[in-house]
Homo-oligomer: A and B are copies of this chain.
Amino acid sequence: MSEENNPLKDSVKPQFGASGRKIVYDENGKPCRACNTLLDFRMVTNKKSTSSPSGSISAASGIAATAATAAGAAPNAKACPPDVEELGRSTWTLLHSIAATYPDNPTKNQQENLSQFMNSFSNLYPCFHCADDFREYIKKDKIKVTNRDEFGKWLCNAHNEVNVKLGKPKFDCNLWKERWKDGWKDGRCD
């Protein structure tokens, strides 16, 4: 069943979810699927959460998708829309990988293309309150597109700002290439 037809009345709108995070509602007063964890989304829509649907959690999703593909089923046929955590992980994976393959000496065109991508991304990110925060962030710390390392470190710092907001530890941005481009020096990624 879709949440489309089930906006909550103001009087019964929980402010915080079981995860401890603030519940995010959209402009129509409906809980936003891409802005909340699945746990909180379910809590606030009063749905049972007795089972973990395939695809609702990244780890489960990976396994389910692999199994489904192996069995010849339609890819992702019965996986679920991502919650805020799966969406976040997926997006950082793409963005840091873009940094990893961005040139050391980009042309003016390549620099403009990356600026354009990041700016349009900041208007489109599906978790709208995360997108608001990101647009605020790029106002005070302008996107750096001069070369791979500048962009990679800028992005790592932006990611750290989110880590801090979520109570997660910061990542050492001197190591961004090991994490996202070359793998670790101990050879675990080789």
Interface residues of A, Cβ cutoff 8 Å to B? 1-4, 33-34, 42, 45, 47-48, 51, 53-63, 65-66, 69, 72-82, 86-87, 89-91, 93-94, 97-98, 100-102, 110, 113-114, 116-117, 120-121, 123-126, 128, 163, 168-172, 179-185, 187-190
Find the B residue at minimum CB distance from A181: B81
Q: Is the pair B120, A98 in contact by a Cβ cutoff of 8 Å? A: no
Number of copies: 2
Q: Is the pair A97, B185 in contact by a Cβ cutoff of 8 Å? A: no
What's the Cα separation between A82 and B179 when bound, in Å? 9
Which residues of chain B have C-beta atoms less than 8 A from A4's C-beta?
182
Q: Is the pair B184, A74 in contact by a Cβ cutoff of 8 Å? A: no
Q: Is the pair A101, B81 in contact by a Cβ cutoff of 8 Å? A: no
Q: Is the pair B185, A76 in contact by a Cβ cutoff of 8 Å? A: no
What's the Cα separation between A168 and B65 when bound, in Å? 11
Find the B residue at minimum CB distance from A26: B101
* 24 pairs of residues in contact across A and B, judged by CB atoms under 8 Å: A1-B183, A3-B183, A33-B181, A34-B100, A51-B188, A55-B189, A56-B189, A59-B63, A61-B62, A65-B89, A69-B168, A73-B169, A74-B169, A74-B172, A75-B163, A78-B188, A80-B183, A81-B181, A82-B93, A89-B90, A90-B91, A94-B126, A113-B123, A114-B120
Find the B residue at minimum CB distance from A80: B189
Which residues of chain B have C-beta atoms less than 8 A from A184's C-beta?
78, 80
